[in-house]
Amino acid sequence: MNGSEQPTADSAGHTWQSVTDELGWQVDVRLSDTNVAEPSGDSWSDAEMHAAMLARRDAVNLDREWRYHGLTVKNIDSTPRGIMYDAAGTDSNNVPREGIGIASHWTIDPGWGTVSGQRFGTAAAPYFRTAIHEIDLAMGLVHNFADFGFMCTSDVIAAAGTPSNPFPNNIQWSYHTENLKQLRHYPDPFVRPGAVAFGGASSTTPAITPTDLEVDVDGLALVVTPLLGEVPIGAPVRVGIALVNRSAQPMRVPAGLALKGDFVDLASTGAGASRAVGRERCGDRIRLRPRQGRDARDGRFGLRSRLRA
């Protein structure tokens, strides 16, 4: 709205895309109306922000595109800094976790390092960080005080500032490893807007593979070789996959590679160094068998699978 800054970046080069690069996601920021009228003075209720979202946003099919709506206002009735308001009774259209509100005219409390006493919208780093935090709540995450990452709260980070490293310099511009894993591996309904209600996800729900089962094995490499150098767009891609023991010792390996129901990341490079990255579904479960001859001596187990480019 008029008079409120749009939280698109901080002064050190952090942007929405640089933040989500850690997730491997592509994010498009679409700046919209600035002439949003204040319905009842310069402080907004959660319900008023939700009504403004419904009135102002473009229609979108959430099964094809995940879209979150951010509204910057001068002040918010329910909280000083920001809120993911689209939950419980405020969610009048029963499509949860679509919108957030950020208060640009909150006067930052004393004791908040180098930004104490500033109007929130003029303090680029904590203002932008708050928008990230609220969008992450809209993506199903909850507060996490294990570090000073995005899901920690600003007041906790500010209180931890020191004379040598004051707030907002002590902001950690990254996700805690558990939050990173959750955003990458939660089933889509827990992250995308309009599905599972806020609070449906937690550190234990939904169940995802424990981190301690994800182990890099030194000396073991997965080598993928395409059968053909190039194929037409949309054609199946046939590849050979070899699990190679490059160490000097024998290793126990799985009896098969279960790709069905999972995904692999693909990157294809064409003429002129153009590069397209996609995520494709695999449908094969293949037993690994030792190859004969030289391959057997260097510890190769082979399989052949098809991916669609």
Q: Is residue 54 part of a domain?
A: yes
Residue 281 domain flag: yes
pLDDT (mean) for 91-105: 95
Q: Tell me how far apart the alpha carbons of residues 303 and 90 are, in angstroms, rounded to a whole number.
A: 53
Residues 110 and 143 in one domain: yes
33 and 134 co-located in one domain: yes
Structure token pair of residue 125: 């780093």
Residue 210: Cβ-neighbour burial (10 angstroms; 0-12, 13-18, 19+): exposed
- The half-sphere exposure of 56 on its side-chain side, counting CA atoms within 13 A, is 21
Q: What is the pLDDT of residues 285-296, one digit of tens each?
A: 445 455 444 443
Segment 261-275 shows an average pLDDT of 51
Residues 143 and 43 in one domain: yes
Does 208 fall in a domain?
A: no
Q: What does the alpha-carbon distance between residue 286 and residue 200 come to, in Å, rounded to a whole number?
A: 36
Same domain, 165 and 109: yes
* From 47-61, 66-80, 162-176, 254-268, the region with the lowest mean pLDDT: 254-268
Distance of alpha carbon 278 from alpha carbon 164, whole angstroms:
44
Q: Residue 202 domain-assigned?
A: no
User: Residue 276 forms beta bridges with which residues?
Assistant: 268
Are residues 39 and 179 part of one domain? yes
What pLDDT, in 10s, does the model give residues 193-251? 999 999 999 888 898 877 766 677 888 888 888 888 888 877 887 888 888 889 888 88
Task: Give the domain range for residue 115.
Answer: 16-191
Asked if 167 and 249 sit in the same domain, the reply is no
Q: Is residue 133 located within the same domain as residue 173?
A: yes
Q: What is the reported pLDDT for 223?
A: 85
Tens-digit pLDDT profile for residues 117-164: 999 999 999 999 999 999 999 999 999 999 999 999 999 999 999 999
Q: How far apart are CA 226 and CA 239, in angstroms?
A: 4
Question: 174 and 103: one domain?
Answer: yes
Which tokens go with 223? 């080598």
Structural domain count of the chain: 2
Q: What is the pTM of this model?
A: 0.72
